Structure 1
Amino acid sequence: MAGNLGCVILAVDGSEESMNALSWALDNLKLRSPAPDSTTSAGHFVVLHVQSPPSIAAGLSPPAIPFGGPSDVEVPAFNAAIEAHQRRITEAIMEYALRICSEKKVNVKTQVVVGDPKEKIGEAAENLHADLLVMGSRAFGPLKRMFLGSVSNYCANHVQCPIIIIKGNVAS
């Protein structure tokens, strides 16, 4: 594809589909080369992972109301354990994504943010002035999509930059 891309965000969530999209992008997209007059910088890939907040990861959103009414009491050890687990998952996802990049001999930047992927991917695209967003799609059926939502569908309708959605397995 055209070689005038300055910033390409590659959204990964650890799924096979997101890693296939990452691999496809590295194989098929050409970034902008730096201009000889050095006014234009070289393009770059940003591998982006959005980590769920601990409360969502634990299935605690919204929080339960204890007998006797609401309470602001949290269990610090429980929260710390959830956060540590989330960090390990994020590290494994990013490690795997970076291994794919390394095998393809492509240098990338990385970014990890915490929050709702639907919102945070769009925010990252805006903040990084992305020229393109590439992401995978799990191709949920209509029932699953209704209950779980589709991050790729949401991004396709709300993110301001162009998007390439890679469905399923893609042979390079």
Structure 2
Amino acid sequence: MAKARTIGIGMDYSATSKSALKWAIDNLIESEDIIVIILVLSPKSDPANKKLFADTGSQLKEPGVCKKYGITPDSELFDMLDSVSRDKMAKVVAKVYWGDPREKLCEAVNLLKLDSLVLGSRGLGAIKRVLLGSVSSYVVQNASCAVTVVK
């Protein structure tokens, strides 16, 4: 039997990040893999009590967790995660980081020892990408694991 893999999914609740999750469920995640939903929040929302996520991750559906950490609950996301957990017996956890998404996603790859990371692409044009920077481009260039960008 193959070793369970740890697969990270960059999540910001956008349609593109949900498409990335759906792609990973349909094409990548296998029985008993570990799925880590990685949320990167603004440093302005950095709560003093973030230790729970820093050490262990959390189940986002636990009562009060979303509210405590300033995370918007999303029933569509929860349904997708419930399905993959039930259908493929995958373990699902969430990790929340505060700061620059480019840096924090690369940090998460190393800290969580991810085998793979899946991100959505906002599809910025060339000019916007130069002005705003591209999280996915940065992560592809700097992450120490395989990165899949889903358009």
Same fold (TM over 0.5): yes
Query: In 2, are the aligned partners of 1:5 and 1:132 still within 8 Å (CA)?
Result: no
Percent identical across equivalent pairs? 35
Offset, 1:103: 3.6
Counterpart for residue 6 of structure 1 = 5
Query: Once the two structures are superposed, what CA deviation does each residue of 1:63-97 show, in whole Å capped at 9, x if it has no partner?
Result: xxxxxxxxxxxxxxxxxxxxx8x81xx2335x542
3-state SS, counterpart of residue 119 of structure 1: helix
> Over aligned residue pairs, what C-alpha RMSD do you find?
2.5
3-state SS, counterpart of residue 108 of structure 2: helix
Counterpart for residue 135 of structure 2 = 151
Q: Which runs of 5+ in 1 are unaligned?
A: 34-41, 56-83, 168-172
Change (3 A) 1:23 1:52: same
Counterpart for residue 36 of structure 2 = 46
Q: Which runs of 5+ in 2 are unaligned?
A: 46-66
Query: Once the two structures are superposed, what CA deviation does each residue of 1:28-79 show, in whole Å capped at 9, x if it has no partner?
Result: 2134x6xxxxxxxx53010111001118xxxxxxxxxxxxxxxxxxxxxxxx
3-state SS, counterpart of residue 14 of structure 1: coil
Counting only pairs closer than 5 Å after superposition, residues 28-107 of structure 1 correspond to structure 2 as 28-31=27-30, 42-54=32-44, 87=70, 90-92=71-73, 96-104=76-84, 105=86, 106-107=90-91
Amino acid aligned to 1:164: T
Structure 1 segments, 4+ long, off by >6 Å, are: none
Query: Once the two structures are superposed, what CA deviation does each residue of 1:137-171 show, in whole Å capped at 9, x if it has no partner?
Result: 0110011111211100000001110011100xxxx
Q: Number of residues paired by the alignment?
A: 126
Query: In 2, are the aligned partners of 1:4 and 1:30 still within 8 Å (CA)?
Result: no
